[in-house]
Amino acid sequence: MILTSANTLESKKILDYKGLVTGESLIGSNIYKDLFSGVRDVVAGRTSQYEEELEKARNIALKSMEEKAESLGANAIIGLKISYDNLGGTMGNTILVTAYGTAISYEENEL
Amino acid sequence: MNFREREVKLAYIKEAIECIAFGTAVGLGVYGFFLFFHIAIFGWNLGLIFAPLAAGYAETYMANRIIGEDIGAISAFILFIYTTFYSFILKNPTLGINIITIGSIAVILQAAFPTLINYILLVGGLGIVSYLLGIFSRITKFISNNIKKIYYRIVHNEEYQIKNETTPVFDEKKSNERINSQNFYYATTTDINTKRLRNIGQFHATAIIEKDKHLIHVDQEKAELITLNRLKEGKDECLIKLSENIKSAGGNGVLNLKIDYGLIGLGGDRYQITAMGMGICLK
């Protein structure tokens, strides 16, 4: 499955636009993550716990989106957008990760 | 680490130390001022609160101006150590443990480490309560189920069937089919290469969802799953609204589609989902 944020696929012929595909994932509260990133925040530095959680959440969202594209018979997603939205929660620790794009099918042979 | 990186890091450390020194100096000045004028409540000097606060503020201000980022109010920590040592050990070693002392320590800690203490109170504290409630709930359910099992076996002479708790499920496949089976084109791209089209204008649609107001959940994961499912339902509702708006204007598709999530209402008590894009009529 090709994923691209571009409008089209270079040197490939798009056969059909299959529709919109989305994937979402939520990072909620976690005592370990929140407390330790809180400590790192006080003494300054990168909060790797959050980075790991965000990566996990992004992968879940992308996987969910890809599965939907496959079920529509697509073999690529173009116009891909990934966004991270803070949805409050206790001390702003709820983060929604969304991935969405346009599922298409393209001809495997190069143009 | 190459030479250039090391040089940059050393310059950063030097600037950070300068900011910490500045913050500490401001904090000591404020503490001296409060001590000199005996500004106190019930014999408890208010400099203990204001000195770390002033130190942290001065350091953060300097760090933002010089380095361009917050370095974590380390001078507040230094002031906290110094003022606590000076007031509680050096000047008043006989201070006993009582409500005033404990309250004072709590206030000093809050002033010196606002971020950490707020996290401990609001996230750690509530998280631990939720976790303990979850364990308590599982134990009571286990006891209750076993009592019911024994009761059914003795009184009704039959096995009691434990009702499994249902996990909230969002049917992703059904949602996907629902969105893509409306004879409507959704495209996140700015163009559909293979089609001839006519632009009919910019369109928006919004869905507002009430936020869960409970601070503590017995099952945190389940609560988060419910929130996520509600957001997904809201997104579907929003996309369908957008398609209906465009259809009513004579269109049959949307280009450059964007979906935004945010908070709205007093204290951000609702989720706002917005879908927007260029309405088009595909020929």
**φ, ψ of residue B207 in degrees (nearest 5):** -125, 135
- The domains of chain B are located at 3-112, 172-282
pLDDT exceeds 80 at position B133: no
pTM score of the predicted model: 0.62
| pLDDT digits 0-9 by tens, B173-199 | 888 888 888 788 899 998 887 668 888
A111 occurs within a structural domain: no
Find the CATH number of the domain harbouring A61: 3.30.110.70
Residue A54 lies in a domain: yes
3-state secondary structure of B276: strand
Q: What is the mean pLDDT of residues B166-171?
A: 74
Least confident of B12-26, B119-133, B180-194: B119-133
Mind giving me the DSSP string for B63-115?
Answer: HHHHTSS----HHHHHHHHHHHIIIIIII-TT---SHHHHHHHHHHHHHH-HH
Residue A53 lies in a domain: yes
pLDDT digits (tens, 9 = 90+) for B55-71: 888 988 888 888 887 77
pLDDT in tens, A44-93: 455 566 778 889 899 999 999 999 999 999 999 999 999 998 887 655 57
The answer to whether residue A28 sits within a structural domain is: yes
The domain of A36 spans 2-106
What pLDDT does B123 receive? 63
CB A74 within 8 A of CB A107: no
Q: What is the ipTM of this complex?
A: 0.82
Question: B188–A101: do the CB atoms touch at under 8 Å?
Answer: yes
User: Which candidate in B117, B188, B196, B208 is best for mutational testing of the A interface (most A CBs within 10 A)?
Assistant: B188
Structurally, how many domains does chain A consist of?
A: 1
Q: Cβ contact (<8 Å) for B74 and A87?
A: no
What pLDDT is stored for residue A44 in this prediction?
47
**CATH among 3.40.190.10, 3.40.50.300, 3.30.110.70, 3.20.20.70 for B172-282:** 3.30.110.70
> B194 vs A14: CB contact, 8 Å cut-off?
yes
CA distances (Å), origin A34, targets A72, A95, B112: 38, 12, 19
Residue A32 lies inside a defined structural domain of this protein? yes
Give the residue with greater pLDDT, B277 vs B118.
B277
